[in-house]
Structure 1
Amino acid sequence: MKLRLISLGLLLFLCGSSLSLAGDPEKGYHVIVDKPLISPYWDQETFDNTWRVWPKDLKELAEKASPEERKRMAYDRYGLTPRPDNPNKPLQYVVGDDGLWTPNCFTCHGGEVAGQVIPGAPNHRYAMQTLADDIRYAKMLMGKRLLKSDYGSAVVPLGGTNGTTNAVMFGVILMAFRDADLNVHSSADFMPTKHHDMDAPAWWNFAAKDYIYCDAFAPKGVKGLMQFALARENGPEKFRGWQEDFENVYAYLESIKAPKYPYEVDKSLAEQGRIAFEKTCARCHGKYGPEEKYPSIVVDIEELGTDPVRYEALSPADRKLYGDSWFNEYNQGAKTVDDPAGYVAPHLAGVWASPPYFHNGSVPTLWHVLNPSERPTVWHRTSGQLDQQRVGLTVKEFARMPPEVTRRDERRNYFDTRNYGKSAAGHDYPDELTPEEKRAVLEYLKTL
C-alpha cells in the first residue's frame, strides 16, 4: 500500500493554529449565525413566496396551508432547520431584522442527526440548487431584480444531488479573481473547471486535524476559514478586519465534540469490533480511546480506488495559488501540499452521525462501506430516521434511476453512482474482514 504521512508539529503551532486559545467559541458561533459576510441573496418576502413556483401537487398543498405550515414545507423542501438557540430563524442563513437572508457556513455544515439539529453535522438534506432555482423563479414572478448570485447559480452548478455541493469549484473560481494579497483583478487565469459534488465533512473532527480537506492539502489556520467570503465586494481590508472574528470561529470549531450514539450498543460485540478494527483499519484511520492517535494518512489514489474526480479537479496550480496567498501566510509557515498522493483517511469520531460516506457522499450507510459489493447503484433517502441496523441514512435502493422520476428537483433526491464524480467504488479494504468481523466493526463504529 502506498501511503503518505503528513506531519506538522512545531511549524503549524508557530504559524497560527494556537490562535484558538485566544478565541471565544460562543462568540464564534454567533459570528456564523448573526454576522453576514457577503451581500444578502434574497429577502423574507421572496422566501415566503417560493411556494408559488413549486411543482403543481406541492403548490396546491401549500396554497391551502397556513403560513407556519408553508414555512415548515419550505424548510423540508430545501433542507433547512431551525436554529437550536432561536427556532424562529434558520440555522443555515443569517436573517437580519431587515428580513434579508445571507448564507453562512451552516448551509453545508449544519444538519440533523437522528432527528436532532446539530450545528457542525453535515447537512445531508440541503437542496442548494433547488433553492437557488426557486428563488430565481420567485423573484421573476414577483418582478424583483435578479442579483449576481441569481445569475451565477444559473451558470455554475451548485449541487447535483441534495446534500452535496460543488464547493471546491466555488473556491477555484473565486480565487482565480484574486492576487496573493486578495486584491480583485479581472484577468482570471484558470483551467476549465471540473464541476462535481462533494459531501461536507463533520466539524467535530476539526480539532484532530493538522491539514484540512479530503486531500489534506491545506494547513489548518484561522485565515483560511475566510476563503468562501470571497465575494467581489469584499476587499483585503475586510478580511484583515475579520481576524478576531475568525479566531473566535476557529475556537468554536475546535470546541465541537462528536455526538454520542443515542441507541443501545452491544458492548461485547463492539469490543470484538475494536480488535478487528485495530488489526485492519487503524493503520490509516488511527486508534480511538485513551491512546487516541490520528495519523493523517493520505492514501495513493490508485491504491484507494475511489472516485478520482475531486482529486483531479483541484490542480497543483490551484493549490499553490491558495497556498501563496494571505490565507496561508504566503506559504511562509506550514506549506500547502500542491500535489498530494490521493485522499486522506478521515478521522472517524462520530462517524455514525455523518452519513452518507466517502468524499462525494456516494455510500448511504456504514454497512455499505464495510460491504463494497452491496453498495447500491441508485439510492433515495426515505426518511429522517437513522437506519440503526446498517447505521446511516434510511434509503430505498434501485438498480437504475426510476423512469417516472423526470423533474430536475425530484431527481436531486436520488443519488446515481453512475454519474460523473459520483462513483461508490473503491475502498475495498473491509473485504479483508470476515462477515462476523464486519458485523463487529459496525457495532464498534457506533462507539467512536
Structure 2
Amino acid sequence: MGFRFNDRALGLLAFLLFVSTAYAEIPKQAGSPSAESDQDAIRHPDASEGYRFLTQQALLPSDFNQRTVDQVWQSWPEPLRSRAESATVAQRRRMIFQRYGLTPRPEHLADDGADPGKPLQYVVSENGDWTMNCFSCHGGSVYGVPTPGAPNNRFALQTMTEEIRSTKFRIGEPLTRMDFGSLVVPLGTTHGTTNAVVFGMGLMHFRDADLNVLDRPPASFTNHDMDAPPWWHFYKRPYLYIDGFAEKGHRGLMQFTLVPENGPDFYRQNEDHFKDVYAYLSSLRPPKYPHPVDSDLARRGKLIFNQNCSNCHGTYGHRTDAEAIAAYPNEMIPIDEIGTDPVRHEALGVAGRTKYADSWFANVGQADHQATIVDPAGYVAPPLDGVWASAPYFHNGSVPTLWHVLHPDRRPAVWRRTKIDLDESKVGLTVETTDRVPLEHPDVAVRRTYFDTRRLGKSALGHSYPDMLTEAEKDAVLEYLKTM
C-alpha cells in the first residue's frame, strides 16, 4: 500500500513546512558557520575538514535535546522499557543506539558497556542539542564495524521520531518541524530506508532559481523508500542520484539542507565548506572483504563477470584512481529493460528535474553550467566497489544478499534481518523469510524490521540477467564479487 498526498495532506504539509517557529526554539540562521570556521579564509578543499564540518556543524534546526534522548526509553514498549530502567546510564544509551540504528564515531569507539558518546549520525552541540547530519543515511555499520560512508541499513528514523515526539509530550519539551512533518510525510516504512524524494520534490518546490523561499501551494508527489548508496562510489560516479540526472558537484550536495530557515545567504556562505565535503566524499574507498576467498574460483568468476556484467558495471583490478574511473562505463539502463521497481524513476518528473537544472545548485558559473538530464531513460548501473559491504541491494534495498541478486527467482517476498553478522555463504545480510509482516507484534520497531517487497516502491523484481548463467557460473561470480 503506497502513500500519496491528498488535498488535505498537502495543505497540512505546507503548514508544517512554513509553520511559525513559536512551536520550537529554532535559530534564525540554522547552520551559519561560527567564528571558529574562519569563513573568510581562502583555502583548498580539505577532506579532513569536510568530515569535521559534517560532524560538528549543525546545518539544520535541532531535532531534540539530550534531555529528551536520555528519557526516550520511557516511551518504549515492555519488556524493553523495564530492561532499560534497570540498566546503567551508559548501557541505556547503547540500547538507544541499537534501537535507532545509531553508531559511535570511529574516532571515539567505546568498549562494551561504556557510553558510546556522540553518534556519527547527529551533530551534538555543547548545550546538548541534537541535529541530524548526512551520516544519518550515509554512515552505517558494516556488519558491526561503524563505517562513515556506508549505507545506514539500520536507521530507524520513523520509529525514532515517533518515540522522541511521545517523550517530548511527556516531559514538556517543545515540538519541532520533524515532529509535525512525520505525521504527514512518511520518513521510512522499513528500517534502513528513508524517504529521500522529499528533498528534491518537496522542499525544492518552495524555492526559486536563486533559492529564495516561495509562498506557494505544495506539489503532489509519490512518497517512497530509498536505500542510501555507499559514498565510496562517489569518486567514480560523474553524477548524483541513481538515475544520473544531475552532474556531480559540491553545490548539488547542499540540496539536502533545504529547510526554510536556510535562505540564499546560507548557501553562498557555506559553499566553500561543501567543497571540503566534496573532497571528503571523493577520498572514501570501500573496506576490503575480511574473510578468506577461494582465489581459483574468484579468477573464474572474474572471467565470467567481464564477459557478462562489465558492459554495465565496469571492470575491476589493481589500477590508479584515474584508470578505475575510466573503467566505469556509467551506463544508463532503460527502465523497461532493467525491470526493477519503477517508482523512483516516475516520482521525479521532468518539471522537478528542470527546476533543479535551472537553480543555483546546477549553475556554478557561466563556464561551468552542470549538465542535467531532465528525462532519464532509467537507472544507471552502479559501480560495484565494496559491493559485499553495501547490503541490501537495488536502489530500494529490496534484495538482502548478493546470492539473491544472482537468483532472481529465489528472492524472498518478505524478509527481516536476524543478526548483525555477514552471511558468508550468500554474501549479505543474515535474514529469515516469512509469509507476511506480523502486524500484531506490539513493538512497531520490530514490525519495521520486516521488508515487504509487495508494497509500493519496494519490489525486488528485475535485473534478471543472471538467469543466463549456470549455477556453477553464479557461484564463481559470487566469489569474485567479494574481491572488489
What TM-score do you get using the length of structure 1 for normalisation? 0.93
The Cα offsets for residues 345-378 of structure 1, whole Å up to 9 and x where unpaired, read as 0110000000000000000000000000110111
Query: Cα distance, 1:189 vs. partner?
Result: 5.2
The one of 13, 27, 44 aligned to 2:49: 27
The one of 210, 214, 217 aligned to 1:181: 210
Find the counterpart in structure 2 of residue 45 from structure 1.
Answer: 67
When residues 245 and 23 of structure 1 are mapped into structure 2, their CA distance, relative to the original with a 3 A threshold, is same
The Cα offsets for residues 134-171 of structure 1, whole Å up to 9 and x where unpaired, read as 11000001111111221011211000000000011233
Task: State whether structure 2 residue 469 is matched by structure 1 residue 433.
Answer: yes
CA distance in 2, matches of 1:330, 1:37: 21
When residues 143 and 153 of structure 1 are mapped into structure 2, their CA distance, relative to the original with a 3 A threshold, is same
The one of 398, 402, 410 aligned to 1:366: 402
1:279 counterpart letter in structure 2:
Q
The one of 265, 289, 309 aligned to 2:343: 309
Conserved? CA contact 1:108–1:126, under 8 Å = yes
Task: State whether structure 2 residue 180 is matched by structure 1 residue 147.
Answer: no
CA distance in 1, matches of 2:406, 2:253: 33
Conserved? CA contact 1:169–1:194, under 8 Å = no
The Cα offsets for residues 104-152 of structure 1, whole Å up to 9 and x where unpaired, read as 0000000111221110000000000000001100000111111122101
Q: Give matches, 1:4-403, under 5 Å.
A: 22-87=44-109, 88-188=117-217, 190=219, 192-289=220-317, 290=319, 292=324, 293-329=327-363, 333-402=369-438
Query: Cα distance, 1:249 vs. partner?
Result: 0.4
CA distance in 2, matches of 1:124, 1:251: 24
When residues 382 and 270 of structure 1 are mapped into structure 2, their CA distance, relative to the original with a 3 A threshold, is same
CA distance in 1, matches of 2:223, 2:261: 24
The Cα offsets for residues 7-31 of structure 1, whole Å up to 9 and x where unpaired, read as xxxxxxxxxxxxxx93110000001
Conserved? CA contact 2:199–2:258, under 8 Å = no
Deviant stretches of 4+, over 4 Å? none
1:40 counterpart letter in structure 2:
S
Bigger Cα displacement from structure 2, 402-411 vs 130-139: 402-411
Query: Cα distance, 1:400 vs. partner?
Result: 2.5
2:186 counterpart letter in structure 1:
P
CA distance in 1, matches of 2:218, 2:180: 21
Q: Root-mean-square deviation (CA), in Å?
A: 1.4
Q: Could you list the runs of 5+ residues in structure 1 that have no partner in the other structure?
A: 1-20
2:60 counterpart letter in structure 1:
I
The Cα offsets for residues 210-233 of structure 1, whole Å up to 9 and x where unpaired, read as 112111111000111111111111
When residues 62 and 406 of structure 1 are mapped into structure 2, their CA distance, relative to the original with a 3 A threshold, is closer
CA distance in 2, matches of 1:320, 1:307: 23
1:33 counterpart letter in structure 2:
T
Query: Cα distance, 1:397 vs. partner?
Result: 1.0
Find the counterpart in structure 1 of residue 447 from structure 2.
Answer: 411
1:319 counterpart letter in structure 2:
R
CA distance in 1, matches of 2:444, 2:87: 25
2:405 counterpart letter in structure 1:
V
Query: Cα distance, 1:330 vs. partner?
Result: 7.0
1:173 counterpart letter in structure 2:
G
Find the counterpart in structure 1 of residue 6 from structure 2.
Answer: none
Bigger Cα displacement from structure 2, 338-347 vs 321-330: 321-330
Find the counterpart in structure 2 of residue 18 from structure 1.
Answer: none
2:170 counterpart letter in structure 1:
L
1:37 counterpart letter in structure 2:
L
The Cα offsets for residues 306-351 of structure 1, whole Å up to 9 and x where unpaired, read as 1100000111111111111001117962321000000110110000
Q: Could you list the runs of 5+ residues in structure 2 that have no partner in the other structure?
A: 1-42, 110-116
Bigger Cα displacement from structure 2, 87-96 vs 323-332: 323-332
Conserved? CA contact 2:124–2:130, under 8 Å = yes
Conserved? CA contact 1:299–1:345, under 8 Å = yes
1:97 counterpart letter in structure 2:
E
Conserved? CA contact 2:202–2:218, under 8 Å = no
Query: Cα distance, 1:34 vs. partner?
Result: 0.3
1:304 counterpart letter in structure 2:
I
Conserved? CA contact 2:141–2:152, under 8 Å = yes
Secondary structure of the 1:164 match is coil
2:138 counterpart letter in structure 1:
H
Identity %: 54
1:431 counterpart letter in structure 2:
D
Secondary structure of the 1:50 match is helix
What TM-score do you get using the length of structure 2 for normalisation? 0.86
2:156 counterpart letter in structure 1:
A
Secondary structure of the 1:386 match is strand
Query: Cα distance, 1:172 vs. partner?
Result: 1.2
- Corresponding pairs, count: 427
Task: State whether structure 2 residue 453 is matched by structure 1 residue 424.
Answer: no
CA distance in 2, matches of 1:65, 1:154: 31
Query: Cα distance, 1:406 vs. partner?
Result: 5.5
Conserved? CA contact 2:388–2:481, under 8 Å = yes
Conserved? CA contact 1:176–1:188, under 8 Å = no
